[in-house]
Amino acid sequence: MLARSLIGFALMSSPIVKLIAQRIALGIMLLLAVSVLIFVGTQILPGDVAQSILGQSATPQALANLREELGLNDPAYVRYFRWLGGVLTGDLGTALSSRQDIASSLGGRLWNTLFLAFWAAILSIPLAITMGLVAVRYRNGVVDKAISGVALASTSLPEFFIGYLLIYFIAVKLQWLPSVSTVYDGMPFIDRMKAIALPALALTFVVFAHMMRMTRAAILNVMQSAYIETAELKGLRPIEIIRRHAFPNAIAPIINVVMLNLAFLVVGVVVVEVIFVYPGMGQYLVDHVSKRDVPVVQAVGLIFAAVYIGLNIIADIAGIIANPRLRHPK
C-alpha cells in the first residue's frame, strides 16, 4: 500500500518536477549565454587595457610584457574558457588596478548590497501588498485613486531623482539622517541602519509602485471569477472575499512580481549606491569601470546576472508550485 501511494504521488508530481527541471536547465543555459555576452562586451571596449594600467608614458616593451603577463595575446576563446573555468572553481581573477583578489574584495561589498536590498524589501513588499489589497477593497473610490496616484507618481520618478530629493529634504533641510551612507566592519547595528536609511527609502519608492499595481491588477483579475460571485451571494464581507478567496488564487503572479523586484533591488542598486556613496557592488563596479578594470567588470556583471536569473527561476518555481492545476491534476 505504501509503495502504491509513493508511486501515485510520483506520477502526480511528475509534471511539476519536469517543469521545475526545465526552468533550472533553461536558467543555466541563459547564464552561460550571458557569460559569453559579458566577456565579448568587455573585449570590444575601446582602448588598451595594458595602456590604461601603465599610462601613456609606458614603453612599447613594457606594454608587450604586460600584455603577455595578462594573457591578452591569447585568442579570445582561450581567454573566455580560462575565465569561465576560474569562475566555476571560485576564482574570479585579480583586479588589474589594485592587484587584489576579486573574490575576497567582493565579499564585503556583496554583503553590503544584500543588507541594503534586504531592508528595502522588508519595507516595500508588505507595504505594496497591503496597499494593493486596500486599493482592491475600495476600488474606484477615493482611497483607490489616491493610492494609484501615489504609485503612478513614484513610478514616473527615476531613482536618482528620488535619491536627491531624500538627500535635500531629509539630510540637508531636516538633518535627520546622513547624506553619505558610510558603513564599515564592526559598525554598531543602529548606526548601520541609520546609514542605510536613505538609500533603502529610495529603493522602496522605486519598487513599491510596481509591486502595488501588479498586486491590485492580479487580485482584480481573480475578482471576475464565478466563485467570487458565489461568495458574494453567500453574503461574505468584501474584505473576507479578498482575503480568503481572491488573494490566495492571485498569489502566483504576485510572487512573480515580488521576485522580479527583489532581483532589481540587488541588481538595480548601482545608481542608488553611487548617489549615497554606499560601499556595495554597484559602487565597486562603477569605480572599476572608470579604470577599465575588465576582470572586475566581468565578475560583477556575472554575479548580477546570476542573482537576477536565479530569482527569476525561484519565481517560476514558486508559480508552478502555487498552481492548483499542477498540484491537483485531474
pLDDT in tens, 153-185: 877 788 888 888 889 899 888 888 888 888 888
The predicted structure's pLDDT at residue 10: 45
With a cut of 70, say whether residue 3 has pLDDT above it: no
With a cut of 60, say whether residue 278 has pLDDT above it: yes
Residue 2 banded pLDDT, cuts 50, 70, 90: very low
pLDDT in tens, 192-212: 899 899 999 988 888 888 888
pLDDT in tens, 57-91: 677 777 777 777 767 777 878 888 888 888 888 88
Of the listed ranges 4-8, 87-91, 235-239, 283-287, the one predicted with least confidence: 4-8
Average pLDDT on 46-52 reads 66
Cβ-based neighbours of 134, under 8 Å, separated by 6 or more: 143, 147
Average pLDDT on 36-61 reads 74
CA angle, residues 170, 171, 177, in degrees to nearest 5: 90
pLDDT in tens, 11-21: 445 677 788 88
The predicted structure's pLDDT at residue 264: 81
Distance of CA 121 to the CA centre of its chain: 10
Output the CA–CA distances (angstroms, integers) from residue 249 to 58, 180, 205, 244, 320, in the order listed: 66, 43, 27, 9, 13
pLDDT in tens, 111-123: 888 899 899 989 8
Q: Which domains does the chain have, with CATH numbers?
A: 2-88 (no CATH), 102-308 (1.10.3720.10)
Residue 103 banded pLDDT, cuts 50, 70, 90: confident
Residue 9 banded pLDDT, cuts 50, 70, 90: very low
The predicted structure's pLDDT at residue 5: 46
Of the listed ranges 52-66, 100-114, 305-319, the one predicted with least confidence: 52-66
Round to whole Å and give the CA distance between 119 and 122: 5
Cβ-based neighbours of 147, under 8 Å, separated by 6 or more: 131, 134, 135, 212
pTM, 2 dp: 0.78
With a cut of 60, say whether residue 124 has pLDDT above it: yes
Round to whole Å and give the CA distance between 143 and 89: 54
Residue 6 banded pLDDT, cuts 50, 70, 90: very low
The predicted structure's pLDDT at residue 317: 81
Q: Mean pLDDT of all residues in the chain?
A: 80
The predicted structure's pLDDT at residue 30: 92
